[in-house]
Structures are given as C-alpha cells and as structure tokens.
Structure 1
Amino acid sequence: MKCKVQLIGRLGAEPEITTLPNAAQVANLSIATEEYWKDKQGQAQRRTTWHRVKFWSEGTIGFIERNIAKGQLVEIEGTFRYEEYTDREGVKNKVPVINGTNIMPLSFNEGQAASGAAGEGSGAGNGEDIPF
C-alpha cells in the first residue's frame, strides 16, 4: 500500500538544490497551502500550513532549477513519510516530509514560459492544454 499526496500551494523560498557526499542531488522546497472557512460567528478564517518537499530525480531537479521560483503556485505529487533527526540537545525528532515525484507550475514568474510538468512518468509539455 502507498500514501499518495497532492498539494497545490506557493513556494515560500527559492528551491534549495544540495549535492550529497555520494554526488546525488536533492531539491528541497518549502510549500505553503491555505485553508479558508467561516467560524461559528460567520467570521472568515484562514490557516496556512507549511510542507517540506524533496525531489530526488535528476530530470525533475533540472526542471526545478530552470522553471521554479519563490512565490510560484505549483502542484506537487508525491508520497508522505517522516524523517528523523537529532537536535542540538540530543533529542530525537520526527518531521513530516513529502518525497515529490511530480511538479507542475500553475503560475509563472516574469520571463518564464509555460513549459509543462516534470517528474517521474511525465514529460515536459508545451503549455497549450492550460485552460487559462
């Protein structure tokens, strides 16, 4: 069985591409999603949730480097897991992380062209099928 995640949100920072000691690369993204509702008094409420997303595919990392930037609205697909780390005080912690498999820009920054999606199992499109 598998836990599949789909997010639509905005990048809160520029993608961070890191090269690991084994020469593999990882792209780290910080994605904000928002929920809106009205409380019992009829007042509009909003909640922002931040998500850590990691991409490991070389092709997708290249796409992210060329096409994804802070503030962009993106759709992310991936799987959910927890990563463990030990803080400075020696306490072990777990944080939720999404291992991204696909990313599609839903908005474009100035100077960017609509170049489609990137990810395992999806190629780059020409943007003609975008309905807006």
Structure 2
Amino acid sequence: MKCKVQLIGRLGSDADINTLPNGQVVATLSVVTEEYWKDKQGNPQKRATWHRVKFWNESTVGFIQRNIGKGQLVEIEGSFRYEEYDDSKGVHHKAALINGSNILPLHPLTKAHDNAATSDNGPDNDDQIPF
C-alpha cells in the first residue's frame, strides 16, 4: 500500500537544487501549510506546519527551476516516508519527508521575483513575504 499526500501551501524559499555524485538531480522544497479554526471562546487560531518535499524526476526539477519560487502558492502530490540520518555528532535522527511526484503552481511567479532572480540589483521582496 502507498500513503498518498496532497499539500497546498507556500514555498518558504526558492528550491534547493543539487546534483548527486551519480549525476541525478534533486529539488528540495520547504513548504508551509496553514490551518485556521476558532477555539471554544471563539478566538481565531492558526497553526503553520512546515514540510520538506523532494523531487527526483529530472524534468520536474527543471520545471521547478523555471517556474517555482519563494512565496508561491503550490499544490503538491507525493508519498510520505521517513528519512533517517546521523548528524555530525553521531546522533541518529528520523525526519518526515514527502517524495513529490507532481507540482502545480496555483499562481504564476511575479515579475519582481523574476527580476530579483536574474539581477543583483533587482527588488528584494523578502519583507513582503510573511515567513
């Protein structure tokens, strides 16, 4: 059986694109989802949850490089798993990870993001993004 995941959230930063020693490319995304509700007293509440998503398909990684950026609202499909690793101090960790299979931008990148990505003197929109 497979655990299918569907997220709708915003990217906390541009994708981290890496090429592994075997030549395979991987895109790692940090995506935040938010839940809203009212407590028993009627006060609005909000919870943000951060998710780490990896894409391994080369054509999808290329699509992410060209079309996906910080602050953008996206829909992601994939499968859930745990990744285990030992840190530099030898401590063993187990972290939740989503292996992405599909990504859909729910709004296009803004022109300001495109300019900032291609020019050192482009506008810096970090102050406008709440994370």
Q: Which TM class, normalised by the smaller chain length?
A: 0.7 to 0.9
Q: Which consecutive segments of 4 or more residues in structure 1 shift more than 3 A?
A: none
1:66 aligns with 2:66: yes
Partners of 1:35 and 1:47 in 2: how far apart? 5
Aligned to 2:97: 97
Q: Which whole-Å deviations, capped at 9, do the CAs of 1:64-87 have from their partners, x for residues lacking one?
A: 000000000000000000000112
1:27 aligns with 2:27: yes
Partners of 1:24 and 1:90 in 2: how far apart? 27
TM-superposed CA distance for 1:99, in Å, is 0.2
* 1:38-53 equivalences in 2 (<5 Å): 38-53=38-53
1:23 alignment partner AA: G
TM-superposed CA distance for 1:111, in Å, is 3.4
Query: What TM-score results when the alignment is normalised by the length of structure 1?
Result: 0.82
Structure with a larger share of its residues in helix: 2
The two structures, once aligned, show a CA RMSD in angstroms of: 1.1
Which consecutive unaligned segments of at least 5 residues does structure 2 have? 113-131
1:91 alignment partner AA: V
Partners of 1:4 and 1:17 in 2: how far apart? 24
Partners of 1:110 and 1:26 in 2: how far apart? 24
Q: What SS is found at the alignment partner of 2:111?
A: coil
Partners of 2:41 and 2:85 in 1: how far apart? 42
Which consecutive unaligned segments of at least 5 residues does structure 1 have? 113-132
* 1:6-25 equivalences in 2 (<5 Å): 6-25=6-25
* 1:92-131 equivalences in 2 (<5 Å): 92-111=92-111
